[in-house]
């Protein structure tokens, strides 16, 4: 393949491959369930792939394509090029995240990344840019004798914001260095509430780039943890009676023309503009409908219970960490944001950010107003099932039922992804319901 037929951007990527001594290139994409898929090519094949893409069998990827339409191909996104920092020497490898296309060159309807891109385009037509910053919480566990992490054993005995004194503090720094190699700017890193639990938060970025970063962190965490003899997991609730791992997402809309934060209004009691209130009201209105996308596992709903700073009611407030949406205090107007607290990092971030944006834009379109802010403890008995608040779903089944009733969220996903996701998760729930757990054996064997 002659490089003369390539674009300048493609030639620049080839030049970087040569300068950095890259021997292989990982072409990555994300399936419906948020699992990173990968095909590796020798670097001398990259020019051909950049010009023509690379074919794969879409029917072998869950929710990607039916058998009769299995031929699909990957087109690298040049802006995602990065050298993978834990590879070196003759095995030095770079990464490119890819678009998924059909044989006729059209974006695949089943590509989760496309869903977010198209929702962002909808916002851009309103002169708005959606930016996010996820707080990625995770557990670091010590493998057992069989090298598995079951039952889970926390890697440390520390708690929230404790001074770093063990291997995991160095590992968090090692992860930050690795993420920097991917062009990811980390804002903070610290120990979380539960033993073995940690958090890394990115700086604000375009939602598509933030979703790419979230997927990169999920891969990097497991690699760096394994290198240090530990097991990393984003499972929302691996341990009973401790805080679960969430993915709180800070979010704002900026005006595309001048990059001014469209959520900011210094004259408002919460610092929020009318547009921000409409956006938040839309997310509150669709909270139940989008919950299955934001918290997609059976295990997710063992995190969304009272007593662990995870939301159970559809509400908002400023100082209230039991609310679904929190409005952190902003020291500068450009940092004005709203934080949604029900997502966890097991979700597909492309689909999660897409439905969050769709819900917010629906609130703007319909000029919805949120209810009064609540800065009381929503875990109080008076805010129980008889309260004025709607409840978030308490099981995956309930969340899927709510998704089936929410046409705005369905439309944001597209019919192909919506039906595939719903079918897969209904099957997952049915399988879980047939499982006989250790709890049942302990409590019922005596009968």
Catalytic machinery residues: 57, 135, 137, 192, 199, 248, 321, 339, 341
Euclidean distance between CA atoms 281 and 370, whole angstroms: 4
Q: Which of 140, 130, 263 is nearest to 204 (CA)?
A: 130
Q: Is the peptide bond before 132 cis (omega within 30 degrees of 0)?
A: no
Cα 228 to Cα 168, 250, 273, 295, 353, distances in angstroms: 9, 31, 46, 29, 32
Q: What is the dihedral of CA 173, 178, 183, 189, to 10 degrees?
A: -20
Tell me which residue has tokens 């819900």: 359
Euclidean distance between CA atoms 83 and 181, whole angstroms: 7
| Helices (H) then strands (E): counts for the chain | 12, 15
Tell me which residue has tokens 């978030």: 392
Contact, 309 vs 243, CB < 8 A? yes
| Phi and psi, residue 436, nearest 5° | -95, 115
Euclidean distance between CA atoms 137 and 243, whole angstroms: 10
| Phi and psi, residue 270, nearest 5° | -105, 5
DSSP 204: P
Euclidean distance between CA atoms 26 and 9, whole angstroms: 18
Contacts of 317 (CB under 8 A, 6+ apart): 323, 326, 327, 373, 374, 375
Euclidean distance between CA atoms 60 and 72, whole angstroms: 11
Q: What is the 3-state secondary structure (H, E, C) of 368-425?
A: CCCCCCCCCCCCCHHHCCCCCCCECCCCHHHHHHHHHCCHHHHHHHCHHHHHHHHHHH
Max Cα–Cα distance, the chain, nearest Å: 77
Euclidean distance between CA atoms 373 and 371, whole angstroms: 6
Residue 46, classed as helix, strand or coil, is: helix
Tell me which residue has tokens 């030095």: 92
Tokens of 447: 């009968």
Euclidean distance between CA atoms 364 and 312, whole angstroms: 25
């Amino acid at each position: 393949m002659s490089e003369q037929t390539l674009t300048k951007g493609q030639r620049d990527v080839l030049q970087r491959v040569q300068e950095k001594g890259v021997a292989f290139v990982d072409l990555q994409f994300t399936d419906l369930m948020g699992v990173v898929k990968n095909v590796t090519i020798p670097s001398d094949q990259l020019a051909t792939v950049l010009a023509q893409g690379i074919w794969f069998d879409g029917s072998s990827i869950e929710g990607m394509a039916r058998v009769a339409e299995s031929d699909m191909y990957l087109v690298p996104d040049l802006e995602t090029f990065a050298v993978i920092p834990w590879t070196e020497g003759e095995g030095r490898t770079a990464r490119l995240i890819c678009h998924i296309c059909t044989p006729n060159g059209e974006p695949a309807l089943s590509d989760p990344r496309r869903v977010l891109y198209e929702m962002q385009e909808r916002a851009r037509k309103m002169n708005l840019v959606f930016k996010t910053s996820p707080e990625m919480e995770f557990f670091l566990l010590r493998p057992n004798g069989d090298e598995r992490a079951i039952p889970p054993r926390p890697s440390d005995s520390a708690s929230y914001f404790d001074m770093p004194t063990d291997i995991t503090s160095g590992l968090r720094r090692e992860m930050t260095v690795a993420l920097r190699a991917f062009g990811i700017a980390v804002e903070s890193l610290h120990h979380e509430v539960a033993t073995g639990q940690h958090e890394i938060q990115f700086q604000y970025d375009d939602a598509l780039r933030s979703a790419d970063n979230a997927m990169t962190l999920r891969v990097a965490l497991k690699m760096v943890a394994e290198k240090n003899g530990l097991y990393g997991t984003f499972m929302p609730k691996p341990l009973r009676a401790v805080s679960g791992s969430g993915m709180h997402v800070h979010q704002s809309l900026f005006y595309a023309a001048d990059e001014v934060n469209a959520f900011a209004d210094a004259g408002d009691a919460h610092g929020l503009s009318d547009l921000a209130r409409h956006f938040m009201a839309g997310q509150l209105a669709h909270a139940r409908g989008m919950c299955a996308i934001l918290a997609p596992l059976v295990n997710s709903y063992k995190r969304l219970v009272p007593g662990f700073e995870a939301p159970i009611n559809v509400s908002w407030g400023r100082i209230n960490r039991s609310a679904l949406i929190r409005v952190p205090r902003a020291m500068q107007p450009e940092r004005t944001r709203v934080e949604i607290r029900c997502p966890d990092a097991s979700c597909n971030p492309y689909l999660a950010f897409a439905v969050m944006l769709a819900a917010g834009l629906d609130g703007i379109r319909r000029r919805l107003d949120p209810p009064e802010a609540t800065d009381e403890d929503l875990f109080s008995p008076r805010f129980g099932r008889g309260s004025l608040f709607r409840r978030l779903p308490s099981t995956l089944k309930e969340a899927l039922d709510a998704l089936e009733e929410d046409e705005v969220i369905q439309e944001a996903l597209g019919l192909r992804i919506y039906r595939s996701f719903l079918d897969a998760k209904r099957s997952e729930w049915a399988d879980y319901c047939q499982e006989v757990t250790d709890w049942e054996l302990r409590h019922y064997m005596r009968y």
